[in-house]
Amino acid sequence: MVAYPVGCLAANVMPITVFHLPTWLPGALSGAPWTLNDGPFNVKEHALIVIMANCGVSQAYGLHLVVTGDLFYGRAFGFGFGFLMILCSQLFGFTLAGFANRYVVTPASMLWPEALVVAANLNAFHAREDAFGGGISRLKLLVWVLGASTAYFWLPGQSRLAAR
């Protein structure tokens, strides 16, 4: 949720400077222009941020096997085995996902509750603002709620720390 106001702020603050790739690159890349700020913050960039954040907070399931064997059973398998175990479990999971794509992902009748929540949030944030008859915008409401919740949870905690 915080990615939306930060992305909108970055899109408005970052300068639009055009850079060019080196001319020694082959084909269409030779001297191609690019910029860090390509315009307003859109739903595709927001979805990419959500995907990267979700990938960053979860760990591989093979890691549980390696850590549990070391901590609870006293079996230190070593770096090589641990690395290969984690790699193999991840590749096995991706392989099964590829095989199951036709039956689990492609049919429109399949509902994934986590994905529905994320899609609803992204659509609510990036919907057109003129659809409402007035009042406060979604971005302003989000900033006000974030500020109020930060003050509500941070200030009492600081006063309790000062009292100790």
Q: Where are the alpha helices (DSSP H) in 58-112?
A: 61-71, 79-100
Which H or E run includes 75?
none
Confidence of residue 161 (pLDDT cuts 50, 70, 90): low
Q: What is the average pLDDT value for the chain, to the nearest integer?
A: 86
Give the residue among 64, 44, 21, 54 at the shortest CA–CA distance from 122.
44
Tell me how far apart the terminal alpha carbons of the chain are, to the nearest angstrom: 34
pLDDT digits (tens, 9 = 90+) for 90-125: 999 999 989 999 988 888 887 778 888 888 888 888
The model's pTM: 0.65
Answer yes or no: is pLDDT of 71 > 80.
yes
Domain ranges of the chain: 1-41, 59-127, 136-164
What tokens does 157 get? 């905690």
- What pLDDT was estimated at residue 156? 74
The answer to whether 11 and 41 are in contact (CB under 8 A) is yes
Phi, psi of 157 (to 5 degrees): -65, -40
